[in-house]
Chain A
Amino acid sequence: MTVSLSLENVSAHYGSTKVLDDLSLHVAEGELVSLLGSSGCGKTTTLRLVAGFLEPSGGKIRLGDRDLTRLPAHARNIGLVFQTYALFPHLTVRENVAFGLKQRGVSRAEQRRRAGDIIDRVGLGHLAERHPANLSGGQRQRVALARALVIEPPLLMFDEPLSNLDAKLRVDMRVEIRRLQQANGTTALYVTHDQEEAFSISDRVAIMNAGQIMQLDTPEVLYSRPANAFVADFVGFENMIPMRAISEAGDAVRAEMVGGATLDLPKSQFTVPAQDFILATRPEGLEVTAGGAGIPATLGLRTYLGRAYQYHCETAAGTVKANGPLTQPFAADSAAVLVPRAEQCCLLPQESA
């Protein structure tokens, strides 16, 4: 059973503080969508609203053709995996996993069989009679996963499920989560503050800030084509150079920077979104060259990254970071020109502060 999840114009308040502002989100059947953002951005609130632990002050939440908005949490049939695992300490692994089946009035024999199956699938068959206190963090999270999967929920939700695990285990577990989610074809909502985690396993990622979704797209698009300055900064576009379009020069737009230097941006490669805009790029999107058309800069500190040298460059618009080739290191304090690589740059509308 695969269904889609929709949030329609959902708002939420804690007292007088607005936590979610008119949020809409659609997770298609069998899709894994991550909510990504720093703490306080509203991602966990969104998850808790869908789970039924919080009530929205406005809007609708639908799962398939069911309206969840006023349904009590225990009647929603959603599999939840918590950051703290939230296993029942007084029950064994098998009893933990069978809990949801027991609540559904499944017969004892059937409980045993289905719990046993899923425990085997997460590779914990030999630990079924243990209590959670005697398991490692990774094993506990597997039990939590099995416990959520065994009820065959139409929707799985993950609340920072890997935050309490060490780095290597995190990578293994996220692959496992993705594998199980795809194998079951379950629709999933995944909350995390870890960009790599979100990008690596999601079909789409919603980057959130201050109770709003700033951009919802595939990891590939978010990584290379952020839609606004917030997302650009979030995904590592460290250089934000303000520019102003001043004239057309043949098939290019001539843009002026602070300090008066100009740059011709070919229309075939760049789409200028407004008269005032920002050239956003990662350090590897600016090539350090000895001369030519580009942004004039004075090279400062040089660091070695293995694949390239990185320079801290002084320009009229402030300090920017740019990468230069390994074959030709530039000396400190030398003058250079930074040439934007079109495929690694984004032109974003200037946001009114």
Chain B
Amino acid sequence: MKQRTHPLLIAFAVLVFFFLLGPLVIIIGASLSDTSYLTFPPQGLSLRWYENVFEISAFKRTMVISFLLAVGGTALSMLIGIPAAYALARYRVELPRFLGNIYVLPILIPEIVLGFSLMKSLATGLGLPIIAALLIGHALLVLPYCVRVVGASLNSFDFSIEEAAVSLGCPRWKAFFIVVLPNVRAGIIAGFILAFITSLNDVSVSIFLTGPGVSTLPIQLLAHMEQFFDPTIASVSVLLMGVTVAVMAIVERTLGLTFLTK
């Protein structure tokens, strides 16, 4: 049996995919160009701009910083986010509604304002070292993802299970680690990955907190772009996209991506 689909609907769907995938095709194409300026369609085919990424020491250095920052910031954020999500889910009835929304504020505030206020308070106010300010800034930036995604897992967790453990002689703090955490593992991993990617790709907050000698990859990308308009930036972008896609593929294989639609 064939279902009739309106031609306009098909056209609309095609347009959506065109706009979603178009920029990716252009960036990938541009990164492969043999020219010394950014162009599309590529003229000639070459991987030399990829090589160039690894020859520029600033890219190598910031790549490491970005990666460590994403791991560290997310880990720090989880240390706050998991207990927060637990409390919000466990005491859903008792706690006032607005408490849960406070943790989403970093998403609601324009990132540029968030970055500016973090610079004012952490960097210039408290005089923290750049790397520490970056770490705290990124932890704050990704906190909503940690709290929300872990929270989604916890909201569907039956807390009777925790009580069962307690009734069998397990103290509550221990029950949290051996019974609650293993059962929201998928949410923690999912939250970690979303947070990791958000941190890795962030510009608005980082731009206020980076400083002499310490920068992140996207900020370095901006700096590079101001001086050179060569396909290196496209290559870096493709590499960043590659990491994101790889991470998502691993998640899809191991956990499924259904958590994103829940």
- B-contacting residues of A (Cβ < 8 Å)? 51-53, 72-80, 82-84, 86-90, 99-100, 103-104, 144, 147-148, 151
Contacts and interface: CB of A to CB of B under 8 A. Distances in A.
Given A74-B167, A87-B161, A88-B179, 16 more contacts: A51-B167, A73-B167, A74-B169, A74-B175, A75-B169, A77-B169, A78-B167, A80-B163, A80-B164, A82-B164, A86-B158, A86-B163, A88-B165, A99-B170, A100-B169, A148-B168
A337 to B, nearest CB: 55
Contact of B168 (A72, A84, A90, A99): A99
A119 B160 CA distance: 22
From B167, B170, B172, residue with most partner A Cβ within 10 Å? B167
Nearest to B160: A86
A82 B163 contact: yes
Contacts of B172: 73-74
A74 B158 contact: no
Interface in B129-180: 158, 160-161, 163-172, 175, 179
Given A88-B179, A89-B183, A90-B183, A73 B160 contact: no
A99 B168 CA distance: 7
B182 interface: yes
Interface of B: 158, 160-161, 163-172, 175, 179, 182-183
Contacts of B175: 74
A79 B183 contact: no
List of 10 A-B pairs having minimum Cβ-Cβ separation, nearest first: A100-B168, A86-B160, A103-B169, A86-B164, A80-B167, A90-B182, A82-B160, A86-B161, A73-B166, A74-B166
A72 B165 CA distance: 13
Contacts of A88: 161, 164-165, 179, 183
Contacts of A103: 168-170
B161 A89 contact: yes
Contacts of A53: 163, 166
A65 B165 CA distance: 25
Nearest to A104: B169
Contacts of A86: 158, 160-161, 163-164
Nearest to A76: B167
A74 B169 CA distance: 4
A207 B50 CA distance: 78
Nearest to A99: B168
B140 to A, nearest CB: 32
From B163, B168, B169, residue with most partner A Cβ within 10 Å? B168
Nearest to B179: A88
A351 B165 CA distance: 45
A132 to B, nearest CB: 10
Nearest to A144: B164
Contacts of B179: 88
Nearest to B182: A90
Contacts of A89: 161, 183
Nearest to B172: A74
Contacts of A104: 169
Contacts of A78: 167
12 contacts: A51-B163, A74-B167, A74-B169, A74-B170, A74-B172, A82-B164, A84-B160, A86-B160, A86-B164, A99-B168, A100-B169, A103-B169
